[in-house]
Homo-oligomer: A and B are copies of this chain.
Amino acid sequence: MKKIEIFDSTLRDGAQGEGISFSVEDKLNIARALDQLGVDYIEAGNPGSNPKDMEFFERSKRQGFRYARLVAFGSTRRCGIKVEEDKNVRALVSAGTSTVAIFGKCWDMHVTDILKTSLEENIGMIEETLSYFKAHGKEVIFDAEHFFDGYKHNPAYAMQALEAAVRAGADCLTLCDTNGGCFPVEIYEITQTVCARFPQKVGIHCHNDMGCAVAGSLMAVKAGASHVQGTYIGFGERCGNTNLSSLIPSLQLKVGYRCIPEENVRLLTKTANYIAEIANLTVDHGMPYVGKSAFAHKGGMHVDGVNKNSASFEHIAPERVGNKRNILLSEVAGRGAVIKKLSHLDRTITKDSPAAQEIVDLLKTMEYEGYEFESASASLELLVLKRRGKFTPFFHIEHFKIIGEREQEMSAPSSAMVKIKVGDRYEITADEGNGPVHALDKAMRKALEVFYPALSHMRLIDYKVRVMETHQATAAKVRVLIESTDGQNVWSTVGVSTDVINASATALTDSIEYKLYRDANPDR
């Protein structure tokens, strides 16, 4: 089983995509998810270019990774100075990763017109910079920038650049279609030439400006490349990079190469959704393998065909990549899975009980309305408990009112008034906060703590808003996901409404109810 190395650049090239902006915390979360998936390399930033990336490398030193090696990225030394005088090179060393990726120019036009230096100087820059990192004990990946365009214009010079890297001891020669404008067939032929010439490991780095990044990478692998760079869900500069969530299953399930540990292939879909969530994107519904519609069948002949033989309209079985078949306008899919997830709440629910069908139907209706329970299992549990008559409400919100105001450019804090009922007692109170939801959260808990002092230990730790059906603009539906903790447990709840206040109120109510239910049923 041939091994193909997977090099993920979501945190570096991906971060150069329009509208993408990661905090250090975001980057650490994504790195952990990629490591759990089992990629070989995580390129995490350019420590010389900004302090945020430097902070990431500092903090990640305390982080143990199981599969992945962290990679710091940077360029060859600047023209006309010694490599040890280049402050970006020094920053790269101090990032402390065992692997570095160094890009150097391979297209003569870039050397003369952009760097404005001589072709010889550029060869020296490549050789000296790579030698410097090898002398510091690093594994060195040479990113041969614009290699294909360069080769098409001046093949001899492009090859000289690789030779310089090889003389310096580069561990991998990664050929880059930096502008994304090469045909897959060109990538195949040129990669084949390079593989025939050098015994070193050859890598491929494609961009999607022709919509062919995945195909170009597949062709390079066919030509002998064994290291593939991309970003996990494809975002990156301009049209993005090779989408690794498309590439990995094609190579692993269809060709039989090993990209990630076999048992992790089923994590592909989950990882895509998780990374999109952190980047505040949605996985494109039509994204190969991992999109919500990737195995959707819209009635008629296709549904009939799939029911008779799933291979009739599915190129792979969706569960192999952790995705699922989505029969539109049908209510039979997924009962088994739902039951599996819920039977611990109510042992009387079995696959064939009417209750199971009822819950599946309810879930489908709610998902259609925009609910999403995968990241909000506390809300799902409450839903089932309520539906099965196993939940006694701890309180009712009789009424709330929220007021937001701004006067002469000065905004007052938002305020909230609530009236709640517990048993036959009422509590009316108010509070203010940064924004209406914060005010409502504070007022609700202030009222409820009178009855349930344990709520004083509870706090929200995350709050996410996602706008759906965005073409209705401010009238669109919003989904609010809330993560809460009481110091011991962490749970997540969800609310959906056209009104962000209402969606938040629903998720806040679920969150408090779940805490009270757990406290009252400790052995559940």
Contact = CB atoms under 8 A, between A and B. Distances in A.
Interface string A348-385: 00000000000000000000000010110000000000
A223 to B, nearest CB: 11
A322 interface: no
Interface string A83-114: 00000000000000000000000000110011
Given A237-B297, A463-B476, 19 more contacts: A16-B299, A18-B375, A21-B372, A23-B469, A114-B308, A180-B288, A180-B315, A184-B215, A185-B222, A210-B288, A239-B288, A397-B406, A404-B499, A406-B502, A434-B474, A435-B501, A462-B473, A465-B500, A500-B500
Interface-centre pick from A282, A295, A470 (highest chain B CB count, 10 A)? A470
A302 interface: yes
Categorize the interface residue count of chain A. 35 or more
Contact of A19 (B212, B222, B374, B478): B374
A298 B288 CA distance: 27
A235 interface: yes
A429 interface: no
Interface stretch (A121-129, A131-139, A407-415, A448-456): A407-415
Interface in A243-282: 243, 246-247, 250, 254, 280, 282
Interface in A3-58: 16-19, 21, 23, 25, 49-50
Contact of A309 (B114, B401, B500): B114
Given A184-B215, A250-B210, A463 B469 contact: no
Given A238-B293, A280-B466, A463-B474, A109 B309 contact: yes
A189 interface: no
The copy count of this chain in the complex is 2
Given A113-B308, A184-B219, A405-B401, A498 B434 contact: yes
A179 B313 contact: yes
